[in-house]
């Protein structure tokens, strides 16, 4: 753009300002009401979103309290009417709430010696891809434990193989069931390394590791984990010197 002459600079500035005012007035005449309406709608939307988030958090808090209250009732043996409450939580809650409610419902079935219903409930959780993986894995373990004696060994192996890996949080439980399934299938050479690996896995409960050591030894594999050698006593060190 060409540089304006110095003596005309004030004139051009005035024209520019008038033009801006005229454009603003014209725009406001045409779109002012729409702009106000848009601002009102925007503020309403923001306010609605904040209210909805607060309501959602409040309801989530209420559901959490309901779940905790239900857990307390189940632990205390007060299971009358608890299934309907769990169904409501599972239907209206988040994925985490739904998973917890369904797992609790399955546990109630176990407590009431309704094994068939418990297996079905655990299976529902295990096969629901929308639920968090830890819940699904836990449900798969419990489902398999309940129906273990009725399952063909190969089905147990195929079902739990992904969890029966060193480093997996479920390695102790899943690995033990898979190893026993190999024994039932007359494949001890596949069971022995699993027992040995369980015995060496630090995250596995001590009782499970102890059984694994015994089973591995019975299968001809030494799975005893030696404790670190104790440091020499100061007196012994002096004698050595």
Q: Where are the domains of the chain?
A: 39-149, 151-225
HEC profile for 121-179? Answer: HHHHHHCCCCCCHHHHHHHHHHHHHHHHHHCCHHHHHHHHCCCCCCCCCCHHHHHHHHH
The whole-number average pLDDT for the span 15-20 is 50
What pLDDT score does 80 carry?
A: 77
User: Tens digits of per-residue pLDDT, 115-161?
Assistant: 999 999 999 999 999 888 999 999 999 999 999 999 999 999 999 99
Average pLDDT, the chain: 76
User: Tens digits of per-residue pLDDT, 186-234?
Assistant: 999 999 999 999 999 988 999 999 999 999 999 988 877 654 444 444 4
Q: Could you tell me the pLDDT band of residue 11, with boundaries at 50, 70 and 90?
A: very low
Whether domain 151-225 has CATH 1.25.40: the reply is: yes
The whole-number average pLDDT for the span 82-106 is 81
What pLDDT score does 120 carry?
A: 94
What pLDDT score does 231 carry?
A: 43
Considering just the CA atoms, what is the radius of gyration of the chain in Å? 34
Cβ burial of 222 (10 Å; 0-12, 13-18, 19+) is: exposed
pTM over 0.85: no
Asked if 110 and 146 count as a contact pair (C-beta separation under 8 A), the reply is yes
């Amino acid at each position: 753009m060409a540089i304006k002459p110095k003596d005309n600079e004030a004139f051009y500035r005035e024209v520019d300002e008038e033009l801006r005012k005229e454009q603003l007035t014209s725009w406001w005449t045409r779109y002012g009401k729409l702009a106000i309406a848009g601002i009102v709608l925007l503020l309403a939307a923001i306010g609605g979103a904040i209210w909805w988030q607060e309501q959602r958090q409040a309801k989530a808090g209420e559901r959490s309290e309901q779940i905790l209250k239900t857990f307390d009732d189940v632990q205390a043996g007060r299971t009358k009417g608890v299934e309907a409450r769990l169904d409501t939580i599972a239907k209206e809650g988040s994925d985490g709430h739904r998973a917890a409610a369904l797992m609790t419902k399955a546990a109630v079935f176990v407590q009431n010696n309704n094994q068939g219903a418990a297996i079905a409930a655990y299976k529902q959780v295990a096969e629901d891809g929308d639920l968090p993986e830890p819940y699904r894995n836990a449900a798969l373990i419990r489902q398999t434990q309940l129906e273990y004696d009725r399952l063909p060994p190969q089905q147990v192996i195929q079902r739990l193989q992904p969890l029966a890996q060193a480093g997996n949080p479920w390695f102790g439980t899943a690995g033990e069931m898979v190893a026993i399934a190999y024994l039932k299938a007359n494949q001890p050479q596949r069971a022995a390394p699993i027992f040995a690996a369980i015995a060496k896995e630090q995250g596995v409960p001590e009782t499970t590791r102890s059984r694994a050591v015994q089973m591995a030894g019975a299968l001809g594999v030494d799975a005893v984990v030696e404790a670190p050698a104790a440091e020499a006593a100061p007196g012994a060190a002096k004698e050595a010197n």
